[in-house]
Amino acid sequence: MIRSEILREIAPVIRDHLVVCNIGIPSQELHAIDDQPTNFYMLGTMGLASSIGLGLALAQPKKVIAIDGDGSVLTNLGTLPTIANNPADNYILLIIDNGSYGSTGDQPTYAGKKTSLTAVAKACGCDNVIECRAEDTKKVLEEALAGDRMTVIVSKCESGNAKMPVITLDPVVIRHRFMEAVKA
């Protein structure tokens, strides 16, 4: 399974929640599969989906799902101790770990080599870290949403991208409709 197949499976589960999505092809895929005003697409901030998601979860009570990638988490590795030490039980970080920098040509990341982001998240102090197969992501995510505990999910999948159009929505529109969804 590749990332777009995971996104297709979880789309009905995340549709009614606030979602902050990783820059590049992940956001293009989610936008094409199931665009929602509750989706906040990163258009220029590699590595910051998990940080923005945490801040949003701490600032208001609705559940927040950040969909991040292994390359982006490695780019902003300081996010994991920040998440661990500022727990928000309405926050789920879903790291779709395909072992590659998908948006720049599938170059391998260290998460696809010797570095386990699951082990890193645990070592940083995240209490509830679940590594799963791509096929189990939907079930694990549903269970995390049913619980009231901050959860980090590391979904191990294959490298590869779906051919999706770029997002033509104006960033101001994406921000505005997302802010309205947060307030609704």
Binding site for Mg ion (CB under 5 A): 69-71, 98, 100, 102
Give the residue closest to Mg ion by C-beta. 69
CB of 7 closer than 8 Å to CB of 29: yes
Rounded least distance, CB 101 to Mg ion, Å? 6
Nearer to Mg ion (CB atom), residue 162 or residue 182: 162
Nearer to Mg ion (CB atom), residue 53 or residue 71: 71
Nearer to Mg ion (CB atom), residue 63 or residue 102: 102
The closest alpha carbon to 95, from 63, 79, 122, 73, belongs to 73
Contacts of 61 (CB under 8 A, 6+ apart): 90
Angle (nearest 5°) at CA 66 between 38 and 12: 55
Rounded least distance, CB 126 to Mg ion, Å? 19
Tokens for 184? 């609704």
Rounded least distance, CB 102 to Mg ion, Å? 5
Rounded least distance, CB 40 to Mg ion, Å? 19
Nearer to Mg ion (CB atom), residue 92 or residue 112: 112
* 68, burial (CB in 10 Å: exposed 0-12, middle 13-18, buried 19+): buried
